[in-house]
Structure 1
Amino acid sequence: MKTHIIGGSGTGKSYIAKQISKKYNIQHFDLDNIFWDNTVKTYGIKMPVEKRTEELSNILSKEDWIIEGVYYSWLLDSFKLSDKIFVLNISPLIFNFRIIKRFIKRKFGLEEGKKENIKSLKDLIIWTNNYQKFKIPKILEVLEPYRDKVIVIHNTKELYKYFMKIDK
């Protein structure tokens, strides 16, 4: 099973990828860990393109994988090799709530994550709203050649139902 999950922040990509990973015992990869250089102390440094390409190629060479993230322009090989591509087009009420909830959990040490502040929270909410409004339609255009394996999801329950059908 080769699955690609794409959507903005707070749409449930990481959560559902972890659930599917656990259920089917398939390794899950967060594209943020490939796109951003987490070995440096400064936040927001991109991984060199060559290194990112190499890491993605290593993932794609595996028999099974689940890849999730917001990116699309450098992932054409992933889309070609995917059995299914899930595009999470979730309601702004839901993803904005989740982004704020995650921020609060991180502030109180209930969840690990990036060191965010109110400005970065505001910026993320604006970015995600614009991503969902403007990038999702663009992503669907990019995915047009793979439309037979694209599934647009409007809520997490739809995704769960899809994976429940596989077991039957």
Structure 2
Amino acid sequence: MKIHIIGGPGSGKTTLSRKISNHFNCNILHLDDVAYDKGDFDRPTAREYRLTQVSRFTKGDSWVIEGVYFSWVGSSFKHCDRIILLSLDKCSRRANIIYKLATRKDLTIEQREEQRARLLKSNDQFDDLFKERISGFLKKFENKIVTVNGSEFDPKELL
């Protein structure tokens, strides 16, 4: 099974990707790890690097890719069996972001606050970005899309 999960910040992409990966025993590619050098959001990677990493990963027989990105992951959308679109409302995503960051012990207070500000800003902009650009990009893949409205999901039911 080849799955691409897309959704706004705090929509549950990482949680669902882990559930699917465990269920199907396959690898996960977190697009934030490809988009930014060593998780440093001030150091984005080059577009060519991103394209190469996604292309290599999608050559596998079974995988899960998750992230909010769309413009440089066309090979993933093309080669996947399903695109799971997590459509959680802005307030719920915001609450998830705040909760997730509060539980991260690997970050300093300053790092947590920086990530919180960045993610909340991205969350505030996501719905407009989806309407203006992402939805149009996904139209050519609409036969693969499963939309999930809410935070409770069973990976087996989605596939």
* TM-score bracket for the superposition, by shorter chain length: 0.7 to 0.9
Unaligned runs of 5+ in 1: none
Residue correspondences, number: 157
* Match among 148, 151, 156 for residue 151 of structure 2: 156
Q: TM-score, length-normalised on structure 2?
A: 0.88
Within a 5 Å distance, the mapping from 1:121-160 to structure 2 comes to: 121-131=116-126, 133-137=127-131, 138-157=133-152, 159-160=153-154
2:38 is paired with a residue of what secondary structure?
Answer: coil
Q: Deviations over 1:114-161 (max 9, x none)?
A: 863435423421221211x1122221211111111111211132x41x
**How far did 1:164 drift?**
3.2
Find the aligned partners of 1:72 and 1:43 in 2 and give their Cα distance: 17
CA contact under 8 A between 2:146 and 2:158: conserved in structure 1?
Answer: no
1:78 aligns with 2:68: no
Moved over 3 A (4+): 112-115, 117-120
CA contact under 8 A between 1:4 and 1:68: conserved in structure 2?
Answer: yes
Name the CA shift for 1:104/1:45 in 2 (closer, same or farther; >3 Å). Answer: same
Overall identity of the aligned pairs, in %: 25
1:100 counterpart residue number: 98
Instruction: Select the structure of larger CA radius of gyration.
Output: 1
Within a 5 Å distance, the mapping from 1:1-168 to structure 2 comes to: 1-38=1-38, 43-106=41-104, 109=105, 112=106, 116-118=111-113, 120-131=115-126, 133-137=127-131, 138-157=133-152, 159-160=153-154, 163-164=156-157, 166=159
**How far did 1:22 drift?**
0.5
Find the aligned partners of 2:34 and 2:140 in 1 and give their Cα distance: 25
Unaligned runs of 5+ in 2: none
